Chains A and B, each alone.
Chain A
Amino acid sequence: MSGHSTYVPKSAIGRWFESRLPIMGLIHSSFVVFPNPRNLNYYWTFGGILAFMLVSQILTGVVLAMHYVANVDLAFNSVEHIMRDVNYGWMLRYLHANGASMFFVAVYVHIARGLYYGSYKEPREVLWILGVIIFLLMMATAFMGYVLPWGQMSFWGATVITNLFSALPGVGETIVTYLWGGFSVGNPTLNRFFSLHYLLPFMIAGVVVLHVWALHVPGSNNPAGIEKKTDKDTLPFHPYFTVKDAFAVVCFLIFFCWFAFYIPNYLGHADNYIEANPAVTPSHIVPEWYFLPFYAILRAVPDKLLGVLAMFGSIAILVFLPWLDSSKVRSGSYRPAFQVFFWVFVANAIVLGWLGGKPPEGLYVHASRLCTLYYFAYFIVILPLLGKFERTRPLPASIAEAVLGTSGSASAMAGSVAASPNTKG
């Protein structure tokens, strides 16, 4: 990386410290002079948005944990105590609860961007797989977090999801007993979920460090999907991308605040304001919106074990994506046929989400099966074959050319064009 070794602290103390722990140099090379492709569009700001959301969730969560009580008799009322009597408790709780949803909004955009621009392809396979691990950890964290208020949907969601593991032959029942800490969802379950809900975000933070590390080896992919070659292709991270990311984070925060302050219960379930009652089953047990596509896949399969395998497989398959996609062209912008399949995939995922919230009966089940089929076909059939048959558009010679139109010509309009996402002809 061109940023290395250029950093010399100005002060004597700084030089003394740097020779012992070169952390300022690391930060300098990673987040100040780091050369980013100049053509990154706003979809690339979601990495920064996600980092912001992780910090926000940890900060609000740590304070909430100071007031929350993980006990089946006290949990529900302790959350209401936070809402009513803790100073700004209502704000912390609504920011945290809606923050989880915002985290998933951002991560889905981030993943879709990676899928469209081929960010998973060589040499970024490890970066991609680390991302899949973060996604899995996020799902586990969010699921356990939703159990903590100990409302009806908390309890019954926990019951349904933990029960899935019982489908695994041989080890299933043992796993479920360990998840529950007993023979049904109860106080030990709540306690261990609270413990893990506090632990996992720090594990996410750890994997995020690896994710960023793996990112900084090849550097960011970009909308043109070609590697940077000269300095003309790049801009230093600071100030160009720090200010761009800051702008994007603030715009995202406006969206976030709309939910947290004006419609804070919009993304939740009314049933979760009823205290958990093992004797009363809600008429429909539905997970949070961000799990619905996977829930639909689970229910699309008539066999319980196969359904569970399909659900976990739908995420696990992402790990193999770098080797499933046969196209040598990275960016979807130069793959007209791919674009059609990609947008159908996105629409398909949305429809799956809608179906996940519908009762598993009649046409809904048939539709779920079709959508599940397309979901897997996209990875197992379409992407492996498409690269062999499709006709791609010619790639630009360099990132600078992709931005400026012609190779190396420093036209007067370069500055304004550089920021726009779709600069291909």
Chain B
Amino acid sequence: MKTFKLIAAAALVSGFLGGVAQAQHAHELAIPPRNEWSFAGPFGKFDKTQLQRGFKVYKEVCANCHSINLLAFRNLGEAGGPGFSQGQVKALASTFKIKDGPNDAGDMFEREGRPADRWPSPFPNKQAAAAANGGALPPDFSVIAKARTYPRDFPWFLVDMFTQYQEHGVDYITALLLGYSDDTHGVEVPAGKYYNTYFPGNIISMPKPLNDGQVEYIKGADGRSQVPETVEQYSKDVSAFLMWAAEPQLEKRKETGFKAIAFLIVLAGLLYFTKKKIWARIEDHHSQA
């Protein structure tokens, strides 16, 4: 009976979490490979240089079609992010023209960007964005790293709870960027669409966005970049950047979590011994009564 109860209890835990993973669906999809991320795990932190590289990829490639409406220039200089200096943020913002107004005369006008401004959208509205991209709206990138995932089957979604694997979104995005292939595996791809191994349904409207050597990374003293200028590296870097953009407070959250849990464990220990001591008085209590 004891064993049975234990099994039932284990089933209880697995069951309710089982439902969670089921939120995702069961199309026959390729499973994105797992990557090593500096921001994974309880002590995870963003790699500043990776965020800066990822930002460069976004700015030079993705930003041509994809907006990132919730990102302000100032965010790029805030703690827990790519760590640009205030001067760099200011300089960057000033390279953009921001539509403002109306002024006292009632006219709209353009002015230089300021750190408090949000990243300007590449298109004036969603319709224009879709029209310029064969009818498919390029999704906004503000929280896309949290808005994408892939299904984790039993028992892996349970394991994820303990290992804190939360990087489904970035792994998916990385895989998607690397998932373009000329071999369509028998899938008929309409004109203006592309085959992608990891995209649900395998047919994606976005052409292969990245190519080797497309984005120039900052060179070291030896005149070479610290990391290879390859599609694989670009994909990882821009995914990391998107994770930060989706969750700029991630580092602070994990740090606070560690402090909170450490405090609670100490408090629980103290309470446990207090409880033991108080409950040891029961005989006294009843002999007085």
> Which residues on A are within 8 Å of B, measured CB to CB?
38, 77, 80, 83-84, 90-91, 94, 105, 108, 153, 231-232, 235-236, 239-240, 243-244, 246-247, 250-251, 253-254, 257-258, 260-267, 269-271, 273-274, 283-284, 286, 289-290, 292, 336, 339, 343, 346-347, 349-351, 353-354, 356-359, 410, 414-416, 418-419
Contacts and interface: CB of A to CB of B under 8 A. Distances in A.
B98 to A, nearest CB: 18
Given A246-B271, A247-B275, A260 B16 contact: no
A270 B157 CA distance: 14
29 contacts: A80-B143, A90-B247, A90-B252, A240-B282, A244-B275, A246-B271, A247-B275, A250-B267, A257-B260, A258-B261, A266-B161, A266-B166, A270-B149, A274-B139, A283-B25, A283-B200, A284-B23, A286-B23, A289-B19, A292-B16, A292-B19, A346-B8, A346-B11, A349-B15, A350-B14, A354-B19, A356-B19, A357-B23, A414-B282
Chain B, interface residues (CB within 8 Å), range: 35 or more
Contacts, number: 177
Given A84-B70, A235-B285, A271 B147 contact: yes
Contacts of A269: 23
Given A250-B268, A261-B261, A289 B20 contact: yes
A292 B261 CA distance: 30
A292 B23 CA distance: 10
B248 A84 contact: yes
Contacts of A239: 278
B265 to A, nearest CB: 6
Nearest to B139: A274
Nearest to A273: B147
A240 B11 CA distance: 33
Contact of B143 (A91, A253, A273): A273
B289 to A, nearest CB: 5
A79 to B, nearest CB: 10
- Most A CB atoms within 10 A — which of B161, B168, B271? B271
A261 B256 contact: yes
B257 A357 contact: no
A250 B264 contact: yes
Contacts of A346: 8, 11-12
Interface string B223-249: 000000000000000000000001111
Contacts of B14: 350
A351 B15 contact: yes
Contacts of A270: 23-24, 146-149, 168-169
A274 B147 contact: yes
Nearest to B154: A354
Nearest to A296: B19
A349 B11 CA distance: 10
Interface in B138-183: 139, 142-144, 146-149, 160-161, 164, 166, 168-169
Contacts of A105: 16
B21 interface: yes
Contacts of B15: 347, 349-351, 353-354
A418 B282 contact: yes
B83 interface: no
Contact of B5 (A292, A343, A416): A343
Contact of B254 (A231, A232, A261): A261
Contacts of A258: 257, 261
A358 B289 CA distance: 58
Q: 9 smallest A-B Cβ distances: which pairs?
A: A357-B22, A261-B257, A350-B15, A273-B147, A292-B19, A270-B149, A247-B271, A357-B19, A289-B19
Nearest to B5: A343
Given A90-B253, A270-B149, A359-B25, A343 B4 contact: yes
A265 B1 contact: no
B257 A354 contact: no
A60 B53 CA distance: 37
B274 interface: yes
A350 B16 CA distance: 6
A108 B12 CA distance: 10
Given A247-B275, A262-B164, A346-B12, 20 more contacts: A38-B282, A90-B253, A153-B23, A235-B282, A244-B279, A250-B271, A261-B256, A263-B164, A265-B166, A270-B168, A284-B24, A289-B17, A292-B16, A292-B22, A339-B1, A350-B16, A351-B11, A354-B19, A410-B286, A415-B283
A262 to B, nearest CB: 5
A59 B147 CA distance: 28
Chain A interface, >50% SS class: helix
Interface of B: 1, 4-5, 8, 11-12, 14-27, 42, 70, 75, 139, 142-144, 146-149, 160-161, 164, 166, 168-169, 200, 246-249, 252-254, 256-258, 260-261, 264-265, 267-268, 271-272, 274-276, 278-283, 285-287, 289
Nearest to A274: B147
B265 A254 contact: yes
B253 A261 contact: yes
A285 to B, nearest CB: 9
A196 B72 CA distance: 34
Given A231-B289, A350-B15, A354-B22, A261 B260 contact: yes
Contacts of A271: 23, 147
Nearest to B201: A283
A284 B200 CA distance: 13
A339 B5 CA distance: 9
A261 B143 CA distance: 18
B11 to A, nearest CB: 5
Candidate in B4, B19, B24 with the most chain A CB atoms within 10 angstroms: B19
A91 B256 contact: yes
A257 B264 contact: yes
A283 B151 CA distance: 13
Contacts of B18: 350, 353-354, 357
A356 to B, nearest CB: 6
Contacts of B286: 231-232, 410
Contact of A243 (B25, B248, B252, B275): B275
A284 B11 CA distance: 24
A91 B261 CA distance: 14
B279 A240 contact: yes
A83 B27 CA distance: 32
